[in-house]
Amino acid sequence: MKRQNQSMITEFILIGFSNLGDLQFLLFFIFLLVYLTTLMANATITTVIRLDRTLHTPMYFFLFVLSCSETCYTLVIVPKMLANLLSTAPTISLSGCVAQLYFFVGLACTNCFLIAVMGYDRYVAICNPLNYTLIVSRATCTQLVLASSFCGFLISVVVNVLVFSVPFCASNRINHFFCDISPVIKLGCTDTNLKEMVIFFLSILVLLVPLVLIFISYVFIVSTILKISSVEGQCKAFATCASHLTVVIVHYGCASFIYLRPTSLYSSDKDRLVAVTYTVITPLLNPLVYTLRNKEVKTALKKVLSRYLLSKTV
């Protein structure tokens, strides 16, 4: 009987924001504006890094990859969310839900590892500047990015197998605006405690371990900066880390609130609000933080715009 009910479910209903009534139209325009701004901001920062040779350094290579990953990350969630805000039947097929969860988890894990790698880059740049180019070489940068992506999507495969091996015979109504782990696995009609424990362990591996490594890196960074004799040198060193620290706090803070706790503590209203932050707001925050707080990026942006305007006048 359970197998028969499971086979009957070919699509899920994403409840999402359906309880907000006419406010969904307002949310549609707000999210659309934020989404378009995110695409423009990430496209701008990747273009500037690509065109300006002064930004061809490991730090900006990682930022380039992170911006590309964040763009793909938003493409997985936001377009479907926008379509559902205007739909009277906000549904997603079973295969679509599997694909969405796979790419969402894979890209999210990749981003977590990339941010940790960027912390390591700052550690080497400040604590071992003489050997920086030797340690963080182009080959090393490529290997770190590939390793981050491989680990991220490998974890995603494991999570998908755990979530979608559960028979969905209770309901097909997902109390969220996209296929996230907790709302989907809660639809299972069998005991999922063991699967949830494995997913919780993976969450610790993805979130807590990199966060601890980042913290350790910054202990050494701060210790090294305080040894700099000039105040100007200290301020300059801290400035290179400020953007990264801001992204770390927002990214890991939101994700930890959702995933570093048991599924039984899942609260649909609060979690949807936090989910909006890390699926819609955070991808916009990254390029803005690195653009507005970084003199090198702002200078490079002005140079690229000047060259573009000059080419138009010739």
Q: What is the mean pLDDT of residues 43-67?
A: 90
Residue 269: per-residue pLDDT: 65
In contact, 240 and 125? CB cutoff 8 Å: yes
Residue-wise pLDDT for 56-95, tens only, equals: 899 899 999 999 999 999 999 999 999 988 888 888 999 9
User: Residue 278 is which amino acid?
Assistant: Y
Q: Residue 237 carries which side chain, given as an amino acid letter?
A: A
Q: What percent of the chain has pLDDT over 70?
A: 92
Residue 242 belongs to what H/E stretch? helix 231-259
- Residue 227 pairs in a beta bridge with none
Residue 5 pLDDT class (50, 70, 90 cuts) = very low
Q: Is 82 in contact with 28 (CB distance < 8 Å)?
A: yes
Pairing of strands 173-174, 11-14: parallel
- Give the whole-angstrom CA distance, residue 51 versus residue 54: 9
Domain boundaries, the chain: 11-312
Look at residue 204 in the predicted model and tell me its pLDDT: 92
- Which pLDDT score is estimated for 3? 47
Indicate the CATH number of 11-312 among 1.20.1070.10, 3.90.1570.10, 3.30.1490.20, 3.30.420.40.
1.20.1070.10
Question: What whole-number distance in Å separates Cα of residue 284 and Cα of residue 281?
Answer: 5
pTM strictly above 0.85: yes
Counting other chains too, the contacts that 75-80 makes at CB distance below 8 Å and 24 or more residues apart are 76/100, 76/103, 76/104, 76/107, 77/104, 77/178, 77/279, 77/280, 78/31, 78/35, 78/279, 78/280, 79/35, 80/178
Q: Give residue 8's pLDDT.
A: 61
pLDDT digits (tens, 9 = 90+) for 278-306: 888 888 888 888 776 677 787 888 887 77
Rounded to the nearest integer, the mean pLDDT of the chain is: 86
